[in-house]
Amino acid sequence: MMSTIGKALALLDTLSRLEKEAGLTDIARQCALDKATARRFLVELEKHGFVEQDPDTRRYRIGSGPVRLARIREARFPFLRVAIPFIKTLAELSTETVHLSEFSGGQLSTIHVEDSPRAHRITVDVGSLLPFHATASGLAFLAFCPRVEIDEALKKPLEKFTDYTVTDPQLLRTMLDETAARGFSIIDQGLEAGVISTAAPVRTPGGRPIGCVAIAAPLSRTNTAAIHEFGVQAAAAANAISEKYYGSERPMGTIAKLRRTD
Amino acid sequence: MMSTIGKALALLDTLSRLEKEAGLTDIARQCALDKATARRFLVELEKHGFVEQDPDTRRYRIGSGPVRLARIREARFPFLRVAIPFIKTLAELSTETVHLSEFSGGQLSTIHVEDSPRAHRITVDVGSLLPFHATASGLAFLAFCPRVEIDEALKKPLEKFTDYTVTDPQLLRTMLDETAARGFSIIDQGLEAGVISTAAPVRTPGGRPIGCVAIAAPLSRTNTAAIHEFGVQAAAAANAISEKYYGSERPMGTIAKLRRTD
DNA sequence: CGCATATGGTTCAATATGTGAACCACAGCT
DNA sequence: AGCTGTGGTTCACATATTGAACCATATGCG
pLDDT in tens, B62-113: 988 898 888 888 877 888 889 999 999 999 999 999 999 999 878 898 989 9
pLDDT beneath 50, residues of chain B: 248-262
Give the residues across from A107 on adjacent strands. Answer: A104
Does residue A258 have a pLDDT over 60?
no
pLDDT digits (tens, 9 = 90+) for A162-193: 999 999 999 999 999 999 999 999 999 999 99
Question: In this complex, is the C-beta atom of A157 within 8 Å of any C-beta atom belonging to chain B?
Answer: no
Mean pLDDT of A116-144: 93
The span from the CA of B164 to the CA of B168, in Å, is 11
More confidently predicted of A102 and B1: A102
The CA-to-CA distance between both ends of chain B, in Å, stands at 53
Q: For strand B97-104 and strand B209-218, is the pairing parallel, antiparallel, or unpaired?
A: antiparallel
CA of A108 to C1' of D14 (A): 37
Mean pLDDT of A98-111: 90
* Average predicted confidence (pLDDT) for chain B: 88
What pLDDT was estimated at residue A247?
Answer: 67
Q: Which residues touch strand D (CB under 7 A)?
A: A 1, 3-5, 23-26, 35-36, 39, 43, 53, 58-59; B 4, 7, 33-37, 40-41
Whole-model pTM over 0.85: no
Residue in B203, B212, B256, B184 with CA at minimum distance from that of residue B87? B212
The span from the CA of A96 to the CA of A116, in Å, is 4
Contact B173, B113 (CB under 8 A): no
What pLDDT was estimated at residue B224?
Answer: 93
Is the CB of A12 less than 8 angstroms away from the CB of B127?
Answer: no
Residue in B191, B167, B49, B172 with CA at minimum distance from that of residue B108? B191
pLDDT digits (tens, 9 = 90+) for A60-89: 999 888 988 888 888 778 888 899 999 999
Angle at B68 between CA B65 and CA B73, to 5 degrees: 125
Angle at A190 between CA A187 and CA A195, to 5 degrees: 75
Residue in B135, B166, B168, B172 with CA at minimum distance from that of residue B150? B172
Contact B164, B193 (CB under 8 A): yes
What pLDDT was estimated at residue B169?
Answer: 95
Q: What are phi and psi of B118, to 5 degrees?
A: -75, 160
Q: What is the DSSP letter of B258?
A: G
* Average predicted confidence (pLDDT) for chain A: 88
What pLDDT was estimated at residue B247?
Answer: 67
Percent of chain A with pLDDT over 70: 94
